[in-house]
Amino acid sequence: MTTKPTTWSPNAQDAPEKILKKLAGRLFATVTETSVVLSYDKSGRTIRRAIEAGEIPAVRAGSTYRVPTAWIRDQLNLAASPAGAESDSAAVSARG
C-alpha cells in the first residue's frame, strides 16, 4: 500500500510560528512556506528569484523548488534539530 504525499501551502492567515511547527521533522519546505516563515511576499517571487540567483540553496522537484529546512532554521538562528519546534516559535516571535 502506498501513501500519497501530503501537500500543504500556507494561507495568508498562517503565522510563521504555525508554519515552523508544520515543518518540524521535514527536510525541505516549499517556496511559499519559506517565503512566509522568512516574512517575504506570500507569492514566493522573492524567494524564487534568490534561488535562481544562487543566493538560497534549493533542490528542484519537478517544476518547483524545495528549500532545506536546516537553511531556514539557520536564517532564523535556530537549532538544526526538528524537535525544537517550541523554541522555533519563540525565536520567530522575538524576530518580529
Q: Which of 81, 95, 77, 96 is nearest to 24 (CA)?
A: 81
Distance CA 75, CA 83 (A): 17
Structural domain that includes position 39: 16-95
AA identity, residue 25: G
The x, y and z cell numbers of residue 93, run together, are 516571535
Number of domains in the chain: 1
The x, y and z cell numbers of residue 44, run together, are 514566493
Q: Quick one: pLDDT at residue 9?
A: 54
- The 10s digit of each residue's pLDDT in 49-89 is 999 999 999 999 899 999 999 999 888 876 544 444 444 44
Is the pTM higher than 0.75? no
Residue 46 placed within a domain: yes
Residue 9 placed within a domain: no
Query: Residue 30 gets which letter from DSSP?
Result: E
- The 10s digit of each residue's pLDDT in 11-38 is 555 667 777 788 888 999 999 889 888 8
Q: Quick one: pLDDT at residue 38?
A: 86
Q: pLDDT averaged over the chain?
A: 75
